[in-house]
Amino acid sequence: MTLSPPARPAQYPAAHRAMRYYRIWIYACNGALLLAALAFCTAAGRALADYRRGLVPGLGAAQPGFLYGYAALPIQAGLLQLLGCFAALRLSERMLNAYWLALLALLVGDAAIGVYWVFRFERVCRDLRPQLRLRLAKDYETDLDFSDAWDRLQREQSCCGVTGPSDFAALNLTILPPSCCRIPAHTTSTATPLSFSTTSSSTVSLTPVHCIPHTAACAERLLAWLKKTADALFVLGYCVIAFLKFCFLGILRCEIKEMIQKIRILRSEMGAGEFMDGSPMHGGPLSQTIVVNAVNVNGGVRAHAGSPERASEREALLGRASDPGLRRSIHEETLGLKTVNGNNNCEMRELARGDYRPLAADSAATRI
């Protein structure tokens, strides 16, 4: 009788189940790195959008130190995760290696830009006061953006001048700006006149009823904000993101290496399965025919599937395998005389281990 070929699965769910452990590792690493990168993007975006950044010399939006961040943050906050997840889903060796190398390149880039900013930030802090004095004397009341930002800083931070109210002497002003006063002057008649002495200690003559200038230096307030922002970005960028990358590089190196080895094993097994598609047991072009029935002493019937040529070989194996001492030698002779195909691999492996138990050791095999 002829049987219809068994349906073969369109995909290989066993391969996906075997890689589930490694995929979970990649997904977890990508998720943690994505959250850290989003937190860093939020903090960096707030720092870039703050008006006080525009007052600090050397921290323009087109500053060379920011260019790396413009390129690296989108990669770390989305593109890298897409590459890792897609590589895990596709089980691609090249994409997994590219994912690991991209992670390594980002870690090296973060380390290099961190060293750059250590020296750059120290220089910015050192030159903050003299640069602010020069810019206040040059751009105040001539550059509207700078003037508005400086007045806003003086109002919100309750400060006046770079180091004090005496810094406005370089502007040749007769009155202090309203942003310097605790009680802003509403008219010019109530504004406080300035008088600077020729001695080293400059004094400001004021009328306490109308205006009391702030004595705090704006440079100190600006420097405190700058250091606070730098500390937050350093913690997120190096104590969190760089540390995660360093740990994930070591972990994923081992996991990806094992994953690639298993991918190769699975591909070799799948390739062997495709090679055996022509055999009757794998639903090939040959039809499956029930040929041999082994009748035991109790009258039971055991059906064996296979071609007529394979029936004689199976009978020989079953008949001669009753002697345990000859099983391995029989197996070696059979391998040497005939080519092993996909139909008798299971029986051959059992004979090699000595675990095969024939159903009818004392029965006579008959062919139908």
pLDDT by residue for the chain (368 residues), tens only, comes to 444 444 444 444 555 565 777 788 888 889 999 999 999 999 999 999 999 998 998 888 778 788 888 889 899 888 999 998 888 888 788 888 899 999 999 999 999 999 999 999 999 999 999 999 988 888 888 889 999 999 999 999 989 888 888 887 767 666 788 888 876 444 444 444 444 433 333 444 443 445 788 888 899 999 999 999 999 999 998 889 999 999 888 888 887 778 778 777 877 776 655 544 544 444 444 434 333 344 444 444 444 444 444 444 444 434 444 444 444 444 444 444 444 444 444 444 444 444 444 444 444 443 33
Look at residue 233 in the predicted model and tell me its pLDDT: 92
Token representation of residue 59 = 């921290």
The widest CA-to-CA distance across the chain, in whole angstroms, is: 129
Among candidates 85, 71, 68, 70, which has minimal Cα distance to 34?
Answer: 85
DSSP state, residue 287: P
Sequence ranges of the domains in the chain: 2-128+222-272, 168-214, 288-367
Q: Which residue in the block uniquely carries the two structure tokens 């400086």?
A: 150
Cα dist from 364 to 322, 330, 357, whole Å: 13, 19, 16
Rounded distance between C-alpha atoms, residue 29 and residue 247, angstroms: 9
User: Which amino acid makes up residue 345?
Assistant: N
Q: So what's the pLDDT on residue 271? A: 64
For position 272, what pLDDT does the model report?
59
Amino acid at site 172:
N
* CA–CA gap between residue 17 and residue 22 (Å, rounded): 10
State which amino acid sits at residue 255: E
Contacts of 224 (CB under 8 A, 6+ apart): none
Q: How many residues does the chain have?
A: 368
Residue 207 structure tokens: 């009328």
Structure tokens at 9: 């699965």
